Structure formats: structure tokens, C-alpha cells
A and B are shown apart, each in its own frame.
Chain A
Amino acid sequence: MAGKEKKESGLWEYSPAPESASIGKIAPKYGLFIDGKFIAPAKGRYFPSINPATEAKLSMIAEADAADVDKAVKAARKAFGSWSRLSASERGKYLYRIARMIQERAREFAVIETLDGGKPIRESRDIDIPLAAAHFFYYAGWADKLEYAFPNRKPKPIGVAGQIIPWNFPLLMAAWKIAPALAAGNTVVLKPAETTSLTALKLAELFSDCGLPPGVVNIVTGAGATGAALVNHKGIDKIAFTGSTDVGKIIQKAIAGTTKKSTLELGGKAANIIFEDATIDQAVEGIVNGIYFNQGHVCCAGSRLFVQESIHEEVVRKLKHRIKSLRVGDPMDKNTDVGAINSKAQLETIQKYVRLGKEEGAEIFQPSCNLPDKGFWCPPTLFTNVSQSHTIAREEIFGPVLAIQTFRTEAEVIAKANNTPFGLSAGVWTDKGSKIFNLTSKLRAGVVWANTYNKFDPVSPFGGYKESGFGREGGLHGILPYVQF
């Protein structure tokens, strides 16, 4: 603690505690999961999926083109008839079965998620995988109760849902998309992100083991072109997309002339606001959890920190002290807090913003960490002396980079917090109840965490205001995007 910004010399350092990689069985090559079978892509093209912590190749992933996507949509369309006519309680039972089987194989999924995406095993083991299973379990129960969700309405499924998910929570996002779609009687064509396809493909295997009828869920792997083929396919009734605001806008435009429904869960630049009457130590934890969770690869990350001026010095000191105890490195080590950046491209983006932050005059702090030689790494980073007009305070970085600003009054911080095109999430820290409710009602964001941050639950609706997208995932409100009246 006394040493200034110097790596402490390890009186009692944690020995490596690696999770066993062997539990994650990964095939050397994966095809496309269409109509209940893994098949080779039409053009026979494959691309590698690598471990971002070692840059070692994990597997070869099929690249789906328009013809493959067409096959998948047709399979989903064919399956829609019998799946939507299946009694709702039976549909629900399939989902229950899926949830349980994910729980049974949780450790295997966690290991693969960490190998493929670079997130710490602690997070994939304690957060991603249990939440994914819980999501299926929650929506399983809705399948035969849908008419209670919409007063005075009779919900019907929409048809075939095209779903495109990001690389930051691969299995969890698949669960967020697939579970409510199936519960409401739709069938699905899902495209995982190209850097993190593996757990979705393992999920496909699990669907087969569960006896899910062929074609109910189809998984097409590939990059942007595959996604575009899915979005533009005429046989799709609905697009659900989670990803960047830029791509979200392209999708919104692409389907403008069609009757396709859509939900978009896009970027964010959340304000996390600390008042002088906050529980400071818990707030510091909330800041850390808000921005360094999952390497900051979180659309709702609390990337803009607003600290009341009277406690700025104290908060920054505690924050610096705290992030020195974060362990950065091997994601498979059970003691790792911050894992690998998901890809080289993302690392370059983050580094660009860190450079911009310095150039624009903000003051950087990074604890010294012994980063591995191979792989993609960024230490937990914070910037002080940031003002509202700095690029790092306006644009989504999607990395472990925090921009700290100060404020004086409630009115000022509400105005600053809302001064962004985004509106996904926000955080408020104060011990005063009436102030919390003032803030939580005035912040224009879909999720507001008061005296906590980055909490997720299947029963809790999630989604954005403004350019952070529309539609909700999770909870009762998460069913609406998958039904029509």
C-alpha cells in the first residue's frame, strides 16, 4: 500500500490456480447446425477461432454464405409449423430440459467460454453459464402462461427469428435470444460472433441431446457477411440484434422497407454517479465492477464516472488502491480478475482510445501488471481530469478504460449524465433514499443500478433508450418482442 504505483514485491502472492482445460472438449472443426445436423458450408470455407490469451488456434469454424443461411431459414420455417402448434407446456418442458442440461455441463461450458473469449474463468463459471441456464429455466415457465403477460390480448408467435449476438457474453446472449423466442413458439436462426462461436455450437450439440426437434434452432457461423445475409433474407419475420450502434443502424435501415419486426440492443456510455453521501467503499467496488467486469467488454459498462467534487480525491485514491489488487492475466486461472481482450482488433481500438485520452490532456493511471507475452492484454485503466467533451467521455470504448469527471450538484450531474446519444444504463450511489429516486427517475436509461452495478437476472428486463436500441430482453417485458396479437 505504501509503495507508489510500484508493483508490490509479493510477500504473499497467489500461486497459479488454473482450471483444467481438458474438461472442455473442442472438435478440430465445426460445421453449420441446420435442421438438427451439423453440415459442411456450401462453399466449404472455414475460419479459425483462436484463444485470445495465447493466440493458439482452438478450432476451425464454418463460414456460412447466403445459400447456407437460406438453408437454415428454410429449416426454421419448416419447423415453425409443428413447433408453434406443439402444446405450450410441452414447449416449456423442452426449455426446462435445456436449462438442466446446461447446469449439468456448466463447467465444460465455462471452460470453453473462457478459452474462446478470454474472459476470466471466475466470471464464466459464476456468472455467464449459471445465468444462461437460469434464462432458459425462467422462460420455460412462461411458455404455457403467455396470455397472462398481456392483458386483454392473445399472443401468437411471430414466425422465424433471425438473431445476431456479440462476442462479449457468447452463451449468455444466445440464451437471452433463444429462450424467449422458443417459449413464445418461434423458431430461430442464430448467428454467433465470429470470434466466439464455440459455446453456441456446443449448445447446438446440447439441443440435439435434449431431443429438440430439428430446425427449431439453427446456428450459422460467420462474420458480417453472414449476418447481412440473415438480416436480408426474405423468410425472416423478426431480427433481434445485440451489438454496436453502428451495425444496429445499418440493420434498421436494411429492413426499413420490409415488415420485419426488430429489437436492437446496442452500445452504451453509462454514467456511474457517486455522491458525497454514498457508501464510499461499496461505491468503489461498484466502480470496479462497473468498468473492469469482463475487461469492460460490456455494453452497459459504467465507463463515465461522475464523482462529487468534495470526495474526488478520496474516491480516486481508493480506486487506485483497489485496482492494484486486481489480477490481470491467464483467464483460466481461478484468481484472475481481468482476462484477455477478446481480439487483436478490439485491443487496437482500446489502445487508440487510450492514446486519444492522453493526447486530449487527460491524466492516465494504470497499475503495473506482469502481462503475458502472447495474447491481447490491457491493464485496468483510469483517466482523471476528463471533461465532457473528451472523446473518451463520449464514445463507447468497450474496454477496461474509465473516464472520471467531477460534478457539484444533482442538477448538473443529471444533465451531464443524460448528455449522450446513448441510454442503456446508469449507476447512482448515495445513502439518501429520496435522492436515489430523483436520480433513477430522471436518468434516461433502460437500466438504473442504485447502490449496485452490473447486476443481471433473467427476471429483470434489460435494454436501452435512445441510440442504445429498443425492445427489452429478460423478464415479462422480454416476451413482447417475440409475440404478435
Chain B
Amino acid sequence: MARLEVLKTYKIFIGGKFPRTESGRYYSPRDKKGNLLANVCLCSRKDLRESVVAARSAFGGWSTRSAFNRSQILYRIAEMMEGRRTQFIDELIKQGATASAAKKEVDLAVDRLVYYSGWCDKFQQVFSSVNPVNSSHFNFSVPEPTGVVGLLADEKTSLAGLVSGIAALVAGGNTVIALASESKPLCAVTFSEVIATSDVPGGVINILTGSKKELLEHFGSHMDINAVVYQGNSNEELSQLRSLASNNVKRISSYDKDWMDTAQQDPYFIMDAQEIKTTWHPIENIGSEGSGY
């Protein structure tokens, strides 16, 4: 007798926990043949609000954590993901990918995590400066994370865009609320299960599923989101987002990229969600040539 498969309930990921949406709503993405993929949470603006609260409270700890430690945690995500390769491949195939494309996407996502893991304690060195001011002061500029960042993940890929976006943001010390691909949300939920077992502090990465059309407005207008990364090419969506962003001078980055391209990774993606801080301090100048304090 064939064994009855145990189906997974696809949840969302907020503050390190796996609730269903507070709204009780769901939607039912289907594969090409019309089979039900899952009853996925149709998140509400309240779910977004809860995520922002979680991301904000996680920000202090995550941004001040040592870069080396962040690097190890990102690498740990890659390790955990590697172990779940077949599950991700199965989900990608369910969502319409060929077997080879699915394998390629999972491999790429794991490698991308490793890539950004390596940047955690290096991009600051590349993009910082010591500035030789014309006075007796020591002056240096360093990148610091922008804060709580929204990510409207790539619609075309289930995993590649989402992971590329999240990895660059958290490598830089930001905390993230990601909205998964609406039509291919399964991998995003499974990815959150990977995160939950990878030493990532609760609230650093939050993953929602649902309607971009519905939630984009709230990502744009939420006063406690400091920046939004938009992966897509709809001018209408982008211009709505930018317009709403002016409420709190939100930073908007938009990328219309093929995230399956191995070349779409570099530290400039990290830098797009960084602020430059410049610090001054006097230099006492006693005892050297010409000084007569």
C-alpha cells in the first residue's frame, strides 16, 4: 500500500517564529498543470508591521555583532542549505523548473551565500577611507548598515533573487523583511526553515508571502523601514514605491537583473544599503618638530 505523503504547511517567518498570517487569509498558487502547490499565507499589512517590529529590535544586535561572526552565520546558512538541496530542487521542479535548472538555482543560491559570507568583514576595508583633513584631526569614513530594509524579491526566480537580496543586505548588517515571489513562494518558506537552524538571531531575516500589489504600498509608506530593495522591472510599481518613500526619505534601490547569472554578485549590492559615517577627532601634537604647545 502506498504511503500517504505528509504535506507541509507553508508558514511565514517573523522574529524567528513560524506563524500563519494573522489575517487567516491564504492563496493557492498552482503548477503548470493546475495542481495545487500549497495554501500559502496571504500576508496582511499587520504581518508586515509585526515583521518591522521584529526587524527593528534585531537591528541593534545584528549591526553591532562582529563582522567575523556575521560572516560565520552566513556561511552556516550555506551549510544548512546544502543539506536540504533535494528539498529545494523538488520544490523548484514543482514550481515549474526543469531538473537541471532547479539544480543550478540551488547551487547558485548556496554559492552566493558563501560569496557574501566572505564579504562580511571585507567590504568595509574596500569602501572606507581615512581622510587627510587640513587641520589637526584624525578623520575616517566607514560604511554602516542603513537599518531595517524591505526586499521585494524577484518574481521570476523562487530562490536566486531572494537569496541574492537577503545575503547582500544581512552581510552588511541590515535586518530584512522579504516578500517572496508571489507565484513561486515555496522555496522562500523552506529557506526560512534553513535560516531558523543557522544561528541567525530572530528578527534579522523575516520572510512574508502574499500579494506584491497589496503589500508594496505598505513597504513604501512604513515610517520605520529605512530602505527598500526592489527586484523587478515594473515602472509603475517602482514609481509608486519611490513616491511613497518620500514620507520618510526612504532609500530605494531597484535592480532589473537575471539573478541566475553568476556574475550578478558584487559588494556594490552591499553598499547600496549602507550609509557612510565620518568621524572626527583632534590629534594632540606635542613634542614633535616645530611644536611649542
Contacts and interface: CB of A to CB of B under 8 A. Distances in A.
CB–CB under 8 A between A and B in the complex?
yes
B249 A448 contact: no
Interface string A141-172: 00000000001110000000000000000000
Nearest to A259: B235
B66 interface: no
A279 to B, nearest CB: 10
B252 to A, nearest CB: 9
B239 A463 contact: no
B251 interface: yes
Interface stretch (A76-84, A212-220, A332-340, A472-480): A472-480
B64 A455 contact: no
Contacts of B134: 134, 457, 459
Interface in A291-341: none
Interface residues of B, number: 37
Interface in B107-133: 126, 129, 131-133
Contacts of B129: 461, 475-477
A253 interface: yes
B127 to A, nearest CB: 8
A421 B230 CA distance: 23
B125 to A, nearest CB: 11
Interface stretch (B13-21, B44-52, B277-285): B277-285
A466 interface: yes
B172 to A, nearest CB: 14
A447 B248 contact: no
A30 B234 CA distance: 46
Contacts of A249: 246-247, 249
Interface stretch (B135-143, B176-184, B208-216): B135-143
A467 B141 contact: no
Interface in A100-135: 134
A459 B133 contact: yes
B22 interface: no
9 tightest A-B contacts by CB?
Answer: A256-B242, A256-B243, A252-B246, A257-B239, A457-B133, A253-B246, A459-B131, A249-B246, A450-B281
A469 B268 CA distance: 20
Interface of A: 134, 151-153, 245, 248-250, 252-253, 255-257, 264, 266, 421, 436, 440-442, 444-452, 455, 457, 459-463, 465-470, 472, 475-477, 485
A455 B249 contact: no
Chain B contact residues: helix, strand, loop or mixed:
mixed
A460 B141 contact: yes
Given A257-B243, A461-B276, A466 B248 contact: yes
Interface string B273-293: 001111111100000000000
A470 B275 CA distance: 8
A421 B224 CA distance: 10
A467 B249 contact: yes
Interface in B210-242: 226, 235, 239-242
B240 to A, nearest CB: 8
Contacts of B246: 249-250, 252-253, 256
A450 B279 CA distance: 7
B149 interface: no
B78 interface: no
B139 A459 contact: yes
Contacts of B135: 455, 457
B46 to A, nearest CB: 23
Given A253-B246, A257-B235, A460-B133, A466 B277 contact: no
B281 A477 contact: no
Contact of A452 (B147, B249, B282): B282
Contacts of B199: none
Nearest to A447: B278
B245 interface: yes
Interface in B65-88: none
A368 to B, nearest CB: 33
Nearest to A439: B279
B133 A477 contact: no
Contacts of B235: 257
B239 to A, nearest CB: 4
Given A440-B279, A466-B248, A477-B129, 13 more contacts: A249-B246, A252-B249, A256-B242, A256-B246, A455-B135, A455-B280, A457-B134, A465-B275, A466-B147, A467-B248, A467-B249, A469-B249, A476-B131
A339 B31 CA distance: 72
A256 B131 contact: no
B266 A152 contact: yes
A72 to B, nearest CB: 26
28 contacts: A249-B246, A252-B242, A252-B245, A253-B242, A253-B243, A257-B235, A266-B249, A421-B248, A436-B281, A448-B278, A450-B279, A452-B137, A455-B137, A457-B131, A457-B139, A459-B133, A459-B139, A460-B278, A466-B147, A466-B249, A468-B249, A470-B275, A475-B129, A475-B131, A476-B129, A477-B129, A477-B141, A477-B276
B63 to A, nearest CB: 9
Contacts of B268: 153, 485
